[in-house]
């Protein structure tokens, strides 16, 4: 079931009954929609953020003007009132609870005395950065069934600001310009084919009056592209496709290279779109006038299905530089040629200058999903160095002469279900979208790194689905096999999260701190000699940027995945973060999320300052759970497992273990009753909450087989929990 439905189900569940999957873990639910305060005008005149101000954002020390703070996207704050000496006095200044409980991935902006953030379902907030008062909220009213079209939760990573307007991409593919004073819509354009599973989760960037926006959908039926729209009018100026289209059609004018790229594809990739979506990272060098963005994985993931000849499939999993005025191609570097492991190259693209072997180099840094840390000459795309920053088993290195990975041949052997490829990094990456930071003060990059294996096992007799992801692999149940407890424990034992400081010149670790995750938060570094990161256990920590020594922490009472920011207001420095557990990991990872994560989901913005006096409310107690009455024979349970894998796991978790975002089906009151179950799964009773009808892909009998599997898992888990208590 999709997360959409999931959230639906969740909400409903909450209302009737609080579900807890274990002692410390209450299940999250969308609360009933709270009344949003009437729109109130922001008092001050709209601030002017123009070209010159964005180019000079580095000097604009008290503000946070664009998602990575500056065009170089370093996420480094030059503020130092909060520093290694004073940080022990850091405490909560205010918090603001938000009206969604899905994943929160936004980096807020602070522009001349107003904070602008986003939350799940693409809502936008203007907040007083001193008091936390909500000034206005814009709800784009994304249809909840769109949640079924996104792989990785109904998230949004933030807004762009330009000349008194706030720009947001909405989940179902609109780009919307809002008046910064009122939150009223100035213009809104649809940027995708809404009959397909495109989604926007990334933050727009504005360059020279153009709003640059990409999209997601590379796990479904998307052909990747990035577009530029006139910030004044919403008129599209250019579009750059990242993979070739139907060879019967003429290639797109902005990218004549697509004709060459088409030579690196075989089969009929264009029918599903090919993937290569531009769903997260961008940066800009004003002096070189180059816009950089990263592209996603191939679609379907499996090479057996998409790319049996093992070609490069340009421009998948690549870093691309274009002219921001025209979208004209300048260079590309493909990090994972012929990707079959979901190694999107969409992690941060941080720009800085480094002295390497005595020579000053203009570089671009990326801690790629594939586990390699790349240092690239950003003037021409030439690889300078690449070394593994997390556990890497798919390749032994990167050949600096060719720029190509030196692959482990076993990593492409995915066809034998009895001997699949169990690889590191897995599909969730050595580093995912969680923001990396670079401190020019220490010369170190700070990476939220993961060790997360994945079992790459071809889905025998794969056929593209109209609802659901089209990976060509057997999904997460393959990753965490239920049948073999030893293998499962071995895989779970290798799952880890780290805050890792990386020296990009020496290409080696400076220090590393084990975090409770994987799936900890994005990172901020500051001139106060500090690094800030929230984690999966719901703690926000401050670390010494030189040594990694933890100097401070404070609870958020929910898992934190987004990155903190810092700003000045009324003469005081603040650290702020949007907290809220979510994203793909808790949706799909099942049992793995029982390790090292708080598994509680609420959404709130928290701001800290020296001597803050705000207090968080007391934590509610988790309710006990009861197992579901078993239904179905063992044979029916086995059939139900197969169907669950096809339709349900990507929102309700591997082995039906909920990760705290969508309802944990093992304890769901709806799963107690065949008629209630059918009304939700087949009839779409919870459609408005995002749990769409699966009638297009399941019949009522199949739905009941899934219920049989879920009731089996409920009893299995309950027995395990009782055994743990003894």
Positions that interact with Ca ion (CB under 5 A): 296-297, 342, 344
Minimum CB distance to Ca ion smaller for 224 or for 324: 224
Minimum CB distance to Ca ion smaller for 296 or for 468: 296
Minimum CB distance to Ca ion smaller for 152 or for 607: 152
The two structure tokens encoding residue 395? 């390749």
Q: What gap in Å lies between CA 179 and CA 422, rounded to an integer?
A: 49
Active site residue 221: no
Minimum CB distance to Ca ion smaller for 103 or for 296: 296
Minimum CB distance to Ca ion smaller for 223 or for 604: 223
Query: Is-contact 183 164, C-beta < 8 A?
Result: no
User: For tokens 């790194």, what's the residue?
Assistant: 449
Cα–Cα distances (Å) from 130 to 49, 99, 135, 573, 612, in that order, read: 21, 20, 12, 10, 11
Give the residues across from 351 on adjacent strands.
364
In sequence order, what DSSP letters do the residues of 352-370 get, joined into one string?
EEEEETTEEEEEEEEE-TT
Q: What is the smallest separation between the CB atom of 611 and Ca ion, expressed in angstroms?
A: 43
Query: Is-contact 592 599, C-beta < 8 A?
Result: no
* Beta-sheet strand order (sheet of 565-569): 90-97, 604-610, 572-579, 565-569
Q: What is the smallest separation between the CB atom of 369 and Ca ion, expressed in angstroms?
A: 8
Q: What is the smallest separation between the CB atom of 218 and Ca ion, expressed in angstroms?
A: 5
User: For tokens 């994005």, what's the residue?
Assistant: 522
The two structure tokens encoding residue 212? 């640059």
Q: What gap in Å lies between CA 252 and CA 323, rounded to an integer?
A: 16
Minimum CB distance to Ca ion smaller for 296 or for 420: 296
Minimum CB distance to Ca ion smaller for 296 or for 627: 296
Strands (E), 570-615: 572-579, 604-610
Cα–Cα distances (Å) from 280 to 166, 203, 319, 433, in that order, read: 18, 7, 12, 7
Q: 700-725 vs 674-681: helix axis angle to the nearest 10?
A: 120
Query: Is-contact 161 65, C-beta < 8 A?
Result: yes
Which of 342, 348, 520, 591 is flagged as catalytic? 342
Q: What is the smallest separation between the CB atom of 468 and Ca ion, expressed in angstroms?
A: 15
Q: What is the smallest separation between the CB atom of 70 and Ca ion, expressed in angstroms?
A: 27
At residue 364, the 3 state secondary structure works out as strand
Query: Is-contact 653 707, C-beta < 8 A?
Result: no
Q: What is the smallest separation between the CB atom of 424 and Ca ion, expressed in angstroms?
A: 17
Minimum CB distance to Ca ion smaller for 54 or for 584: 584
Residue nearest to Ca ion (CB): 297
Query: Is-contact 494 435, C-beta < 8 A?
Result: no
β-pairing, 76-77 with 523-526?
A: parallel
Within 13 Å of residue 232, how many CA atoms lie on the same side as its CB?
Answer: 3
Q: What is the smallest separation between the CB atom of 199 and Ca ion, expressed in angstroms?
A: 12
Query: Is-contact 467 441, C-beta < 8 A?
Result: no
Residues 6+ apart with CB under 8 A from 362: 285, 288, 351, 353, 377, 378, 379
Q: What is the smallest separation between the CB atom of 223 and Ca ion, expressed in angstroms?
A: 14
Nearest to 586 by CA among 1, 3, 125, 178: 3
Nearest to 559 by CA among 586, 587, 526, 525: 586
Minimum CB distance to Ca ion smaller for 340 or for 364: 340
Q: What gap in Å lies between CA 549 and CA 526, rounded to an integer?
A: 15
Q: What is the smallest separation between the CB atom of 370 and Ca ion, expressed in angstroms?
A: 12
User: For tokens 């794969």, what's the residue?
Assistant: 462
Residues annotated as catalytic are 342
């Amino acid at each position: 079931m999709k997360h959409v439905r999931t959230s639906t189900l969740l909400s409903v569940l909450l209302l009737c009954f609080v579900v807890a999957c274990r002692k410390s873990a209450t299940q999250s639910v969308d609360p009933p929609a709270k009344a949003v305060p009437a729109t109130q005008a922001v008092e001050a005149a709209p601030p002017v953020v123009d070209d010159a101000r964005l180019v000079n954002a580095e000097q604009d020390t008290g503000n946070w003007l664009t998602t990575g703070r500056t065009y170089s996207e370093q996420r480094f704050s030059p503020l130092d009132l909060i520093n290694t000496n004073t940080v022990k006095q850091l405490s909560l200044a205010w918090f603001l609870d938000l009206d969604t409980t899905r994943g929160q991935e936004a980096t807020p902006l602070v522009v001349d005395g107003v904070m602008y953030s986003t939350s799940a379902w693409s809502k936008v907030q203007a907040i007083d950065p001193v008091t936390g008062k909500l000034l206005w909220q814009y709800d784009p009213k994304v249809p909840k069934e769109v949640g079924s079209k996104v792989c990785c939760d109904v998230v949004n990573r933030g807004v762009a600001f330009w000349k008194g307007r706030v720009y947001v991409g909405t989940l179902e593919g609109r780009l919307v310009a809002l008046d910064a004073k009122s939150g009223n819509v100035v213009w809104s354009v649809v940027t995708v084919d809404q009959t397909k599973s495109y989604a926007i989760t990334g933050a727009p960037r504005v360059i020279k009056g153009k709003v640059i926006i990409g999209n997601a959908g590379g796990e479904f039926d998307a052909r990747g592209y990035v577009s530029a729209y006139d910030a004044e009018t919403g008129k599209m100026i250019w579009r750059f496709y990242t993979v070739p289209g139907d060879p019967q059609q003429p290639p797109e004018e902005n990218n004549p290279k697509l004709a060459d790229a088409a030579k690196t594809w075989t089969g009929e990739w264009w029918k599903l779109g090919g993937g290569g979506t531009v769903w997260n990272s961008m940066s800009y060098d004003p002096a070189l006038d180059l816009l950089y963005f990263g592209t996603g994985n191939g679609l379907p993931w499996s090479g057996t299905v998409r790319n049996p000849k093992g070609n490069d499939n340009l421009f998948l999993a690549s870093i691309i530089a274009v002219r921001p005025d025209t979208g004209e191609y300048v260079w590309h570097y493909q990090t994972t040629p012929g990707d079959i492991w979901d190694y999107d190259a969409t992690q941060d693209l941080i720009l800085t200058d480094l002295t390497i072997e005595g020579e000053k180099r203009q570089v671009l840094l990326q801690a790629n999903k594939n586990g390699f840390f790349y240092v690239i000459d950003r003037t021409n795309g030439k690889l300078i160095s690449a070394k593994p920053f997390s556990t890497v088993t798919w390749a032994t290195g990167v050949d600096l002469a060719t720029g190509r990975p030196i692959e482990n041949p076993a990593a492409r052997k995915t066809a034998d279900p009895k001997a699949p490829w169990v690889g590191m990094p897995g599909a969730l990456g050595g580093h995912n979208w969680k923001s990396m930071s670079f401190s020019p003060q220490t010369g170190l990059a700070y990476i939220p790194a993961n060790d997360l294996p994945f079992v790459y096992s071809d889905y025998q007799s794969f056929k593209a689905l109209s609802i659901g992801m089209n990976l060509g692999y057997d999904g997460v149940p393959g990753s965490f096999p239920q049948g073999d407890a030893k293998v499962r424990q071995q895989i779970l034992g290798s799952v880890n999260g780290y805050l890792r400081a990386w020296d990009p010149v020496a290409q080696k670790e400076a220090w590393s701190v084990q975090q409770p995750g994987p799936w900890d938060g994005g990172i901020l570094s500051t001139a106060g000699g500090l690094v800030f990161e929230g984690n999966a256990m719901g703690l926000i920590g401050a670390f010494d940027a030189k040594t990694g020594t933890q100097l401070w922490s404070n609870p958020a009472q929910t898992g934190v995945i987004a990155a903190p920011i810092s700003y000045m207001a009324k003469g005081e420095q603040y650290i702020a973060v949007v907290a809220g557990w979510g994203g793909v990991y808790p949706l799909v990872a099942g049992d793995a999320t029982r390790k090292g994560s708080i598994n509680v989901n609420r959404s709130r913005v928290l701001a800290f300052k020296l001597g803050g006096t705000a207090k968080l409310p007391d934590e509610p107690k988790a309710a006990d759970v009861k197992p579901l009455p078993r239904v179905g024979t063992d044979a029916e349970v086995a059939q139900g497992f197969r169907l669950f894998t096809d339709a349900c796991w990507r929102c309700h978790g591997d082995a039906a273990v909920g990760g705290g975002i969508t309802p944990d089906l093992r304890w769901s009151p709806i799963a107690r009753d065949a008629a209630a179950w059918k009304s939700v799964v087949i009839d779409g009773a919870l459609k408005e909450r995002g749990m769409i009808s699966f009638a297009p892909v399941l019949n009522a009998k199949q739905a009941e087989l899934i219920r049989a599997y879920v009731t089996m898992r409920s009893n299995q888990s309950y027995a395990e929990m009782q055994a743990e208590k003894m």
